[in-house]
């Protein structure tokens, strides 16, 4: 085989391996975390290393290591980002609960939301509940109220079997209004708790 044919064969093989790595990323099972980064490292190393080896073995070896590191790191970072945090589906419907003025009581409509939420979480779920308040009252009082609203949701979930150690609560007081506090409609939107889930 001539040098030109060897180089051509190397390029073709490299392209095939690169395509294989791409298909691994795109076709991973969405029901479970992907851990294909090791295979990507090997494929990336081969994809870059083979063309380098067509010139000489030293170049090919260095290129293999560089390709393995780059591809493995990229795939691992992609997996980490994909598995990080996801908002509850149907944002604004399931993941946001609203409260009456100066109240921490969970309303009947929101209990239905929470019952639906229970069907979406599992033993590996970690839940963050962030309470909020409108701007009526002092900042200190609204901070405390927002924390109590988040805690009320946590207690509701715990009574239905969600482990307390899987739930974190935060209070933002009046600091993060949805649209403002100028009208009663706006203030009603701010009396809320927002739920996020991580795995």
Domain boundary among 49, 82, 115: 82
Residues 185, 189, 190, 196, Cα dihedral to 10°: -170
CA distances to 62, 163, 189, 194 from 168, rounded to whole Å, are 47, 11, 22, 12
Pairing verdict, β 85-87 and 126-131: unpaired
- On whether both 21 and 89 belong to a single domain, the answer is no
- One domain, residues 97 and 21: no
**pLDDT confidence of residue 67:** 61
Whether residue 77 sits in one domain with residue 89 = no
Which pLDDT score is estimated for 85? 43
Q: Say yes or no: 126 and 56 in one domain.
A: no
pLDDT of the residue at 40: 57
26 and 122 co-located in one domain: no
Same domain, 62 and 112: no
**Which domain does 61 fall in, by range?**
3-82
Looking up tokens 């790595």 gives 21
Q: What is the pLDDT of residue 157?
A: 96
Same domain for 113 and 166, yes or no, is: yes
What secondary structure does DSSP assign to 70-128, as a single string? HHHHHHHHHHHHHTSEEEPSSTTTSSEEE--TT--PPPHHHHHHHHHHHTT--TT-EEE
- pLDDT averaged per 10 residues, the chain (length 199): 49 45 42 46 57 59 60 54 43 78 96 92 93 98 98 97 96 96 96 91
Report the number of distinct structural domains present in the chain: 2
What is the per-residue pLDDT for 23?
44
User: Do residues 129 and 161 both lie within one domain?
Assistant: yes
Q: Are 55 and 116 within one domain?
A: no
Asked if residue 25 and residue 98 are part of one domain, the reply reads no
- Contact between residue 129 and residue 153 where contact means Cβ atoms under 8 Å apart: yes
State pTM to two decimals.
0.56
89 and 50 fall within a common domain:
no
Looking at the structure, tell me whether residues 30 and 98 fall in a common domain: no
Q: CATH number, domain at 137?
A: 3.30.1330.60
Q: Residue 67: how many CB atoms within 10 A of its CB?
A: 26
Tell me if residue 196 falls in helix, strand or coil.
Answer: strand
């Amino acid at each position: 085989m001539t040098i030109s044919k060897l180089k051509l064969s190397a390029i073709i093989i490299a392209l095939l391996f690169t395509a294989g790595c791409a298909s691994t990323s795109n076709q991973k099972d969405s029901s479970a975390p992907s851990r294909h980064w090791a295979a990507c490292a090997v494929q990336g190393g081969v994809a870059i290393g083979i063309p380098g080896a067509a010139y000489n073995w030293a170049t090919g070896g260095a290129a293999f290591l560089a390709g393995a590191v780059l591809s493995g790191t990229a795939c691992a970072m992609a997996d980490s980002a994909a598995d990080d945090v996801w908002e509850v589906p149907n944002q604004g419907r399931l993941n946001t609960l609203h409260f009456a003025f100066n109240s921490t009581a969970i309303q009947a409509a929101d209990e239905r939301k929470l019952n639906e939420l229970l069907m979406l979480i599992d033993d590996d779920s970690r839940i963050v509940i962030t309470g909020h308040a409108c701007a009526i009252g002092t900042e200190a009082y609204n901070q405390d109220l927002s924390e109590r609203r988040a805690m009320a949701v946590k207690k509701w979930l715990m009574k239905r079997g969600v482990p307390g150690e899987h739930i974190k609560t935060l209070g933002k007081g009046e600091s993060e209004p949805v649209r403002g506090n100028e009208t009663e409609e706006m203030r009603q939107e701010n009396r809320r708790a927002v739920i996020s889930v991580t795995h």
